[in-house]
Structures are given as C-alpha cells and as structure tokens.
Chains A and B, each alone.
Chain A
Amino acid sequence: MVKTGWHEDLAAVAIGMAVVILALAVTWQARPLADAGSRAAHPKGWSTPLAQTVGSPKAWAAAPLDAFRDKQGGIDLPPILLGMGWVVLIGAAGTLLAGRRVGAVLPGLVVLALMACFASVLAAQKTVKFYNLEYPLWALAVGLFIGNAAGVPRWLTPALMGEFFIKTGLVIFGAEVLVSRLLALGLPGLMTAWIVTPIVLVATYLFGVHGLKISSRSLCMTLSADMSVCGVSAAIATGAACKATKEELSLTIGLSLFFTVIMMVVMPPVIQAMGLDPLVGGAWLGGTIDATGAVVAAGESLGREAGEVAATVKMIQNSMIGLIAFAVAVYWSGWVDREAGGPRGSLLGEAWRRFPRFILGFLAASLVCSWLHSLGAAQALWVEGATSGFTAKLRGWLFCAGFVCMGLQTNFRQLAPVLASGRPVLLYVLGQSLNLVLTLAMASLTFGWLFRRVVEP
C-alpha cells in the first residue's frame, strides 16, 4: 500500500487508536447522570451516541429489503450508509497517511463499501446467520466471484487495501479484548481455557509442520489458532501476526466455519446422549467449538445452565487472543522469519525489525481498556458501552471490507497443491479431536469433580 509517508502498520495503529479514543470520549461525554454503575440499568454498558453512526444489515428471512428495515418496519438506511461511510473515511485516512492522493482512491473505496454491504446482506439471511456462516465467508465469496468473473478494474485496484483494513480493525478490536474477563469463572474456567488451549495450539502447529510436513508454517499456525482459540477472530489476529497469505487465511476461515456448523449441530445431542452434567457439557462446548456465537447457540440448545457456562468459558478463551497474537508475532519475527534467511543480527534486533508493529496497537488498546474496565462498576459499563455500541460494529465493517479485498485479490490456484493433498483438512480434524478429548477431560476434572462444591442435603 505504502509508497511514501507512513508505514501501513503505523497508519493502522494511529487510526485505530484514534477511533478507540473517540469512542471512549464520546461515550463518557454522554454518560448517564443516574445509576451510572448499575448493570441492571445498563445491561450492555452505557449507550453511546456513536451507535447511531454505524449500523449493519438486519436479519431477514425472505425479502432482502428487510435487511434495511427498523423494528417498526420502516426503511432505515442512514446507519448503514454511515457504516459504509466509516469504511470510506478510514480508507481515505489511510491513503492520506501513506502519502497517496485520496481523489484517485475514493471511487474504489465507495464501491468496496457497497460490496461489503452486499456481503453483509447475504450473511444476514436467517438460515445463513443462525447456522453461524459469518460475514467473512460471504465477503470473501463476493470478492472471489467478482474478481474471477469480471476481473478487477484498474481504478479499483488502489482501493484494495485489505491488509490495512484488517490491521486497523484489529487495533480497534483490541478494545474488546478485556483481560479482566479471564477470571470470570475462577480457577475451573482458567484451567479449562488456559491449560488445554496452549497445549492444543502448540501440538497442532508442530504436528502440521513436522508430522504432516505442510510446507507453509503460517498456514499451520493460523489453522491451529483458529481451531484452538476462538475461530475467525483468532485466525484474523494470528494470521496477521504470522503474516499468513490471503489464500491461507481464506482457507482457514472456510474450514473453520464448515466444521463449526457441524459441531454446533452435532455436539448438543452427543452431550445429552452421554448424560453429561450441564456444567461439564457447557464447558466442553465453550472450549471446543470455534466461533463464539455457535458456542452460545449450541449451549442454549442444551439448556440455560449449559448455555451460560459455555458462553463464559468461550469469553475466557476470547480474552486470550491478545496474548496469543503477541506470542505468535514474537515467535515469528524472532525465529521463523529469522530462519527463513536474510542477514542475521542480534536476536532482539532482528525480532524488533520484523515485528508487526500493529500488534502493539492491538495490545495497547486491549491493556488500556482492560485497565479502565477494572477501575469500577461505572468504568466497566463505560468501556462495554463504547465497545459493544460502536467499536465492535465499526471493526466488523472494516473486517468485511478487508475480506472483500482479499477475495478480489485471492488466487486459489496457489493453494491447489496443498488443498489437493488434503493435509490442512487432516490437520484441522486431528487437532480438533485432540481438543475435544483434552477439553472433556479438563472440564470433567475441574467443573465435574475438583472444584465441585459438596452440596449438603
């Protein structure tokens, strides 16, 4: 993307942090005068005026136009248009910081925002939405289809800043990664998420590289993180940290969503057939199904108790993304890239030279918001309102635009040999099998026995 001007990572950090600061400042400015610290009064945090500036297509059943209707049934376009406007604005700001002419990029950015909106409408159809086929899949599909059917016109090419959109989205996403959430279920939750997840991540990665001899280490890492941590969001974060290619990220997301749908449907009846306790069953679901929404859906179909535990265990895993992305970035810049060749200096110097700087923005946003969140009940609702009401929706638009760009630029022929070997699928299946066994053992140990309170008759 960059010709002169700021490096892409620096631009992503500057813009991402500016968005987070804006969200916090505006939400604070509009803070409630009464019951500011009451969760009962503000279950999803303080409401933020910025929520009106970023809407997304609503769930629809048979008429796509319903995606643009409000609860009263009237057409409500402005929030969606403003959401698309953010994509154009942030794309233009990135272009400006990179030292390029904004005028040449603007028409392409508008078309890109329209394509992102189209992908979001496809993802909002209820059959698709309620079976966890998330928007990144459709954004990639829209890009792939248009790119392959018609090609990419020259005027659109400068607007295809997929990596920049993903990196900026990740920095903004950092505000949602609250470290304080790690303690939500105490020691049993920590043990289930923190002992099993790293073991599965490392074992799957090593098996992919050394056992299955998959030539791309970044594909192994992205696939392992997606499967062991929390699905697409983990794939995006670690994929960016280990510099996975567009094709590798696309393949990982496709595989993950395919298996997530299967697990979401199959696991609840299996748990019922096994006669597992709802606590253990919920923890098993939370620790194994990739996607957060699918975990809650599977848990709820088992019952309210299992649903609540499943969602909380998943949230603990969600909170690991920052640390894992950072660790992967350090490992990649310090060891993998270093081994790949080039002049060798000191380990620290080399690691720093290759380190993806936007990860620092992602971590900074996470640490600052975690700290604010820990200050008290009111501050927690402040951060939750700013993130749930605004930044989560905005980074959704940026990820969607990023995936459309990736689709438009993806050449699946490069992956054909790897795909034909079936090894990525095998890696996913074997890694997930290990995950299923270890998580069930740990959930039974912690939620079923070790920390089970002895209930007096």
Chain B
Amino acid sequence: MTGIQSSTTARLRLAGGALVIAGIWGVILPRMLEWGPVAQHVKLMEERRVDPSAMYYTELERLPLRPEWVDRVLVLWP
C-alpha cells in the first residue's frame, strides 16, 4: 500500500476503523469471555498455566520436558 489518501477521507476511515476496533475489543470480546464454553476454556488454560498463543515452545510458561511416566510406558530406545 502506498500513497496517502486525502486528509478528510483518511481521517474518516481511521475514525470509523477505530470505532469498529473499540466495539470489538471493548464490548464483544469481553462479553464472549463470559459465555459458557469460552469461559470454561479460558479458566482451564489459566489454571494449567497454558498460553495457547505461544508461537514456539520457549514461549510456554512450562518448558516441555519428557514426563517421567513416559519411561514406564514406552521403550524409548529399544
């Protein structure tokens, strides 16, 4: 995207967009948090300290380490 729109059009578009963002992030998304399945999912994730938005394992609150019980169930290197 290049070039600048005329200042009035640009301001109107920016203001309209800002209103939409304010409406979604200020009203709709917070309301969704109170809705049963969403509230349940968020509560479970917070209780277990899981960050579903982690892009890579280093961003997780708990680093994945091989659980001890795996050794009892699996033959790792036969």
Please tell me if the beta carbons of A231 and B13 are within 8 angstroms of each other in the complex.
Answer: no
Residues of the A chain whose Cβ atoms lie less than 8 Å from the Cβ of B65: 39, 184, 312
Residues of the A chain whose Cβ atoms lie less than 8 Å from the Cβ of B50: 293, 296-297, 300, 307
Residues of the B chain whose Cβ atoms lie less than 8 Å from the Cβ of A39: 65
Residues of the A chain whose Cβ atoms lie less than 8 Å from the Cβ of B56: 173, 176, 230, 233, 292, 318, 392
User: In angstroms, how far is the closest chain B Cβ from the Cβ of A372?
Assistant: 15
- Picked from B25, B55, B67, B73, the residue with its CB within 8 Å of the CB of A233 is B55
User: In angstroms, how far is the closest chain B Cβ from the Cβ of A83?
Assistant: 14
Stretch of A102-110, A142-150, A196-204 with 4 or more beta carbons under 8 angstroms from chain B: A142-150
Given contacts A147-B1, A150-B5, contact A308 B64 (CB under 8 A): yes
| Residue A220 at the chain B interface, CB threshold 8 Å | no
Please tell me if the beta carbons of B52 and A411 are within 8 angstroms of each other in the complex.
Answer: no
A297 and chain B: residue at smallest CB distance: B52
Cα(A279)–Cα(B14), bound, Å: 50
Please tell me if the beta carbons of B1 and A408 are within 8 angstroms of each other in the complex.
Answer: yes
- Picked from A122, A153, A186, the residue with its CB within 8 Å of the CB of B4 is A153
Residues of the B chain whose Cβ atoms lie less than 8 Å from the Cβ of A396: 55, 59
- Picked from A61, A147, A384, A408, the residue with its CB within 8 Å of the CB of B63 is A384
Stretch of A71-79, A359-367, A446-454 with 4 or more beta carbons under 8 angstroms from chain B: A446-454
- Picked from A123, A279, A293, the residue with its CB within 8 Å of the CB of B59 is A293
Interface size on B, residues (CB 8 A): 51
Please tell me if the beta carbons of B77 and A186 are within 8 angstroms of each other in the complex.
Answer: yes
| Residue A185 at the chain B interface, CB threshold 8 Å | yes
Interface size on A, residues (CB 8 A): 77
Chain B, range 40-55, C-beta contacts under 8 Å to A: 41-42, 44-45, 48, 50-55
Please tell me if the beta carbons of A279 and B64 are within 8 angstroms of each other in the complex.
Answer: no
Please tell me if the beta carbons of B13 and A149 are within 8 angstroms of each other in the complex.
Answer: yes
- Picked from B1, B13, B60, the residue with its CB within 8 Å of the CB of A296 is B60
Cα(A247)–Cα(B61), bound, Å: 32
Please tell me if the beta carbons of A43 and B66 are within 8 angstroms of each other in the complex.
Answer: no
Residues of the B chain whose Cβ atoms lie less than 8 Å from the Cβ of A370: none
Please tell me if the beta carbons of B38 and A127 are within 8 angstroms of each other in the complex.
Answer: yes
B21 and chain A: residue at smallest CB distance: A122
- Picked from A131, A136, A152, the residue with its CB within 8 Å of the CB of B1 is A152
| Residue A132 at the chain B interface, CB threshold 8 Å | yes
Q: Offer 10 A-B interface pairs, CB within 8 angstroms, sorted by A.
A: A126-B42, A134-B53, A144-B1, A148-B1, A149-B17, A150-B10, A150-B11, A152-B1, A184-B64, A294-B52
4 closest cross-chain pairs (CB), A and B: A186-B76, A293-B54, A147-B1, A149-B13
